[in-house]
């Protein structure tokens, strides 16, 4: 007990330090808010957008007046990014909204802009962090084309894609009408998960038909998931337990996205870096689209020729991404290196450098974790705790040891969503990690010792262990969900 108590104390005191730091930061943020509020900044951005739009109508895009208005816009957008990572402008009826907030004054002041946006097929406009001056300039030029010309060239969204504008996303008129903005805000994380699956599905189709990829959609999905990770990492991690037997690669890609961003956000990476990591993670297996389905789902061992083809998917994926303007080179590298292994004994052979890029090492690790915990034609899913033990065993060989450590700290030895049998005989689902105690999470009890359903309640495994005087291995063991016929995800909300 003595040692245990000491450890606990230390944990508490380090938490207090963190608490003080947070208070300090919160105070800073509040001060900043009071002087210049978020909405104030949002108004500024819209004002500069309106001004730039007008200048682009009068002067050619390379004219100093246009250049100056781009600079102005970029400056106020940068300022705005101190609060948010994207600028969501919406049109409901004949009013501008910033998210769910009505911008009454702007709706009157910039009414001509609002009308024009609607007429040209824009019901909402989201500007993402990372926007380049070039993209804004091109957007304004497109927006200043005539209504008919835009329509005859396939619409604004298509024109944006063609001009490789990947940090600016438009919604159709009416997109915000049916769902009031407030409702839209509450879109559940699970809906976003399926939205992400839709997008990767769409991108795969595009690869299959040799079409240009909708990079802006990929970016948007990455940004969306990144926001969720920032809000509530453990809730999002629960989502990454979603799997699909039939549509493995799409679900797998979204899981790898979630896990990569969760792991990446434990490192000192800024928003832009996380976006690049996320895009690489989401698209890492795109090369598989070019591998015959019969090989991908083969249940027996692959022949040598099949295996050789299979091993080409990272290079093919990287080739596909290289041909897409707007994909960051480091995201491409993730696709190229994600099977190369930490010790460089994987494929393809990496030459000319002695380690993988950090983003590749992150994706490599979570890729294997997700693959191991999924049922495939050639394997049963391993339980999450089993997969974690394999990662630990392979640290320094297949995986970066430091990343393994951080990943285990984050996931725990029994990750969220693991089905477990407690020493009491009850069945539960790991519900949430306890910081600093990887072996003892909180568990939601779902069945009594006789297998009868019970009103779910949450127990602290550390307390249970103390009460029973049991060791780690004795207090709970993982169970395969298909053996019991429950879906752990149903109990995570
Ligand atoms: Fe892969
Ligand atoms: Fe993969």
Asked if residue 272 belongs to a domain, the reply is yes
Asked if residue 17 belongs to a domain, the reply is no
pLDDT above 90: residue 6: no
Say if residue 299 is in the same domain as residue 367: yes
Asked if residue 106 belongs to a domain, the reply is yes
Say if residue 247 is in the same domain as residue 326: yes
Check: CB of residue 396 under 8 Å from CB of residue 414.
no
pLDDT above 90: residue 361: yes
pTM above 0.85, yes or no: no
Range of the domain at 39: 35-175
Say if residue 267 is in the same domain as residue 304: yes
pLDDT tens per residue, range 252-308: 999 999 999 999 999 989 888 999 999 999 999 999 999 999 999 888 899 999 999
Asked if residue 201 belongs to a domain, the reply is yes
Say if residue 290 is in the same domain as residue 423: no
Ion ligand 2 residue ranges (Cβ < 5 Å): 285, 367
Q: Which residues contact 211 (CB under 8 A, 6 or more apart)?
A: 205
Beta bridge partners of 126: 88, 169
Say if residue 139 is in the same domain as residue 166: yes
Asked if residue 1 belongs to a domain, the reply is no
Instruction: Find the 246 Cα to ligand 1 centroid distance in Å.
Output: 17
Say if residue 372 is in the same domain as residue 439: no
Asked if residue 332 belongs to a domain, the reply is yes
Asked if residue 454 belongs to a domain, the reply is yes
Per-residue confidence band for 35, with pLDDT thresholds at 50, 70 and 90: very low
Task: With CA atoms as reference, report the closest residue to 81 among 163, 167, 172, 186.
Answer: 167
Q: What is the pLDDT of residue 304?
A: 95
Least distant ligand from the CA of 366: 2
Assign residue 233 the CATH number of its domain: 1.10.3210.10
Instruction: Find the 260 Cα to ligand 2 centroid distance in Å.
Output: 12
Q: What is the pLDDT of residue 183?
A: 43
Lowest mean pLDDT among 37-41, 153-157, 227-231, 314-318: 37-41
Say if residue 337 is in the same domain as residue 233: yes
Examine the fold and report which residue of 148, 175, 202 is the final residue of a domain before the chain moves on.
175
Domain count of the fold of the chain: 3
Three-class SS state of 158: helix
Least distant ligand from the CA of 281: 2
Examine the fold and report which residue of 124, 152, 175 is the final residue of a domain before the chain moves on.
175
Q: What is the pLDDT of residue 232?
A: 80
Least distant ligand from the CA of 259: 2
Say if residue 203 is in the same domain as residue 318: yes
Say if residue 84 is in the same domain as residue 204: no
CA dist., res. 129 & res. 223, Å (int): 9
> 408 to each of 229, 246, 340, 422, 433, how far by Cα in Å?
17, 29, 22, 21, 11
Ion ligand 1 residue ranges (Cβ < 5 Å): 285
Asked if residue 310 belongs to a domain, the reply is yes
Examine the fold and report which residue of 175, 197, 221 is the final residue of a domain before the chain moves on.
175
| Mean pLDDT for all residues in the chain | 87
């Amino acid at each position: 007990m003595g040692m245990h108590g000491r450890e606990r104390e230390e944990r508490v005191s380090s938490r207090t330090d963190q608490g003080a730091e947070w208070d300090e930061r919160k105070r800073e943020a509040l001060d900043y808010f009071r002087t210049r509020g978020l909405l104030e900044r949002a108004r500024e951005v819209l004002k500069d957008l309106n001004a730039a739009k007008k200048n682009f109508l009068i002067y050619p895009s390379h004219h100093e007046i246009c250049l100056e208005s781009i600079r102005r816009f970029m400056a106020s957008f940068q300022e705005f990014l101190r609060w948010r990572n994207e600028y969501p402008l919406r049109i409901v009826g004949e009013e501008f909204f910033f998210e769910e907030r009505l911008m009454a004054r702007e709706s009157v002041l910039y009414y001509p802009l609002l009308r024009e946006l609607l007429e040209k097929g824009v019901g909402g406009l989201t500007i993402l962090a990372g926007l380049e001056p070039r993209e804004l300039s091109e957007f304004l030029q497109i927006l200043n084309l005539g209504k008919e010309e835009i329509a005859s060239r396939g619409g604004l969204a298509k024109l944006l894609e063609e001009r490789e504008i990947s940090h600016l996303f438009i919604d159709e008129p009416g997109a915000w009408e049916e769902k009031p903005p407030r409702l839209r805000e509450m879109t559940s994380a699970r809906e976003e998960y399926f939205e992400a699956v839709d997008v990767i599905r769409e991108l795969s189709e595009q690869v299959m038909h040799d079409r240009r990829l909708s990079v802006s959609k990929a970016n948007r999905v990455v940004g969306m998931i990144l926001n969720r990770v920032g809000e509530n990492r453990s809730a999002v991690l629960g989502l990454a337990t979603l799997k699909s037997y039939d549509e493995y690669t799409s679900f797998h890609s979204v899981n790898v996205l979630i896990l990569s961003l969760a792991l990446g956000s434990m490192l000192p990476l800024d928003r832009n870096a996380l976006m690049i990591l996320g895009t690489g993670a989401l698209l890492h297996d795109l090369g598989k689209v070019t591998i015959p389905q019969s090989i991908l789902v083969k249940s027996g061992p692959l022949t040598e020729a099949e295996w050789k083809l299979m091993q080409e998917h990272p290079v093919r994926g990287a080739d596909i991404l290289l041909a897409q303007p707007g994909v960051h080179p480091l995201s491409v590298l993730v696709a190229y290196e994600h099977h190369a292994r930490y010790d460089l004994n994987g494929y393809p052979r990496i030459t000319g450098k002695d380690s993988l890029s950090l983003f590749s090492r992150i994706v490599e690790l979570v890729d294997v974790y997700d693959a191991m915990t999924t049922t495939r034609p050639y394997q049963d899913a391993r339980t999450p705790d089993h997969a974690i033990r394999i990662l630990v065993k392979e640290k320094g060989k297949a995986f970066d040891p430091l990343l393994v450590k951080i990943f285990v700290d984050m996931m725990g030895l029994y990750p969220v969503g693991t089905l477990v049998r407690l020493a009491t005989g009850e069945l539960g689902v790991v519900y949430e990690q306890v910081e600093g105690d990887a072996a003892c999470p909180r568990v939601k009890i779902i069945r009594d010792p006789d297998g009868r359903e019970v009103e779910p309640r949450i127990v602290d495994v550390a307390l249970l262990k103390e009460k029973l005087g049991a060791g780690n291995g004795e207090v709970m063991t993982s169970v395969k969900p298909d053996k019991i016929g429950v879906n752990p995800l149903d109990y995570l909300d």
